[in-house]
Amino acid sequence: MPESPIRKLVPYADVAKKKGRTVYHLNIGQPDIETPEVALNAIRNFDQKVVAYSHSAGILSYREKLCEYYSRHNIEITPDEIIVGAGASEAILFAMNSCLDTGDEIIIPEPFYANYNGFAINAGVVVVPIFSDIESGFALPPIADFEKAITDRTKAILICNPNNPTGYLYSKEELEILRDIVKKYDLFLITDEVYREFCYDGNTQYSAMYLKGIEQNVIMIDSVSKRYSACGFRIGCIISKNKEVMSTALKFAQARLSPPTFGQVAAEAAIDTPDSYFEAVSKEYLARRDVVVESINSIPGCYCPVPKGAFYVVARLPIDDCDRFCQWLLEDFEYENGTVMLAPASGFYSTKGRGKDEVRISYVLNVDDLKRSMKCLEESLKVYPGRTS
């Protein structure tokens, strides 16, 4: 199992904290936003006497409520097309286990969410990365690159939209390109859409579930973690209209008996979160994104695209090695008694050597802390011994 790029620096952060420094955590996807009251109230009012196993696919009333949520997003599904999992994590594992056999290949544009590697290892599946370029803002790689990567063992393409770690929001046209490839080679399209609500500059997400003609190929992964700042609920789901896939996934779901009951109760209630919550959250993240993107692009030698979704940016810095740089920030640097913890982008690439001068920044802190963090990053680059230009 590879070490997570988000976790491997934790011991160094502890060192910085022991030295009394403030560590600005821009490395993780844990939002500081409050979980909606309506969800927490459901937990506070929990009145069952026996906290029993739920249905292996999830509590029926929750799955029914989920259909209502998806319908608002023009995705029409039925409760038996949903299996609730312990976070998107378990849902992805269900998807890989149900769509691919041991040794089968899954194509993923890199950089990608590093934990996909762990799930692939768990499922015995081979990840085949194709390169998406910071110069294009991490747009979908050209068709030719997909076709070059396809072999007899290729069973699926996996995308994350809006994207973690790049924040890239795939367009309708890009989704249609994927549709054509998927159709031509009869592949599964596994689509991780947990950041659906996090779209900026007037954009909305174009779901893979909208694509016509590949309804049997699309497996959607979702989660309440980011949507409702509810990472601890551990509630996600796998959704598909492919009965065979869902029937296999259900067997995996039955083997682990059921998803968490409390989390489902809270997640069901969360679906009634008022629009005003999302409007406030979206406004807040937009302000944060702008601070990060403007700051990065104003530092000499630094560059980052303007992402239209999620709450991450991947930035290119004038550094020799992002792992070394991120560790150095924690061990050896401080500015006004603080430092920043970033995620080295190398861990988001499957191809060795790529992303060495890139970092992922999660804008999950308030604007003031972000400004301090960006100032800190700017100062650090003035003195980092491994600076390249």
User: Which spans of this chain sit near its own copies (rule: CB under 8 A)?
Assistant: 1-4, 7, 28, 30-35, 39-40, 43-46, 49-54, 56, 86-87, 89-90, 93, 97, 102, 115, 118-119, 122, 124, 229-234, 248, 251-252, 254-263, 266
Of the pair 230, 304, the CB lying nearest its own copies is at 230
Nearest distance in Å: CB 4, its own copies: 5
> Of the two residues 56 and 346, which places its CB atom closer to its own copies in the complex?
56
Residue 34: how many CB atoms within 10 A of its CB?
11
Largest separation between any pair of C-alpha atoms in the chain: 65
Smallest gap, in angstroms, from Cβ of residue 237 to its own copies?
15
Per-residue burial over 283-315, b = 16 or more CB atoms within 10 Å of its CB, e = otherwise = ebbbebbebbbebbeebeebebbebbbbbbbbb
Smallest distance, its own copies to C-beta of residue 91, A: 11
3-state secondary structure of 88: helix
Give me the least distance between CB of 21 and its own copies, in Å please: 21
- Beta strand pairing call for 188-192 and 236-240: unpaired
Minimal distance, residue 28 CB to its own copies, in Å: 8
- Give the C-alpha separation, 224 to 362, whole Å: 18
| Preceding peptide of 31 cis, ω within 30° | no
Shortest spacing between CB 294 and its own copies, in angstroms: 27
Q: Which is nearer to its own copies, 144 or 257 (CB)?
A: 257
Is 120 or 140 the residue whose CB approaches its own copies more closely? 120
Nearest one of 303, 318, 334, 329 to 387, comparing CA atoms: 318
Among 93, 73, 70, 72, CA closest to 82: 70
| Residue 267 and residue 233 in contact, taking contact as beta carbons nearer than 8 Å | yes
Taking the least distance from each CB to its own copies, the nearer of 7 and 184 is 7
Which lies closer to its own copies via its Cβ, residue 39 or residue 342? 39
What does the alpha-carbon distance between residue 133 and residue 351 come to, in Å, rounded to a whole number? 13
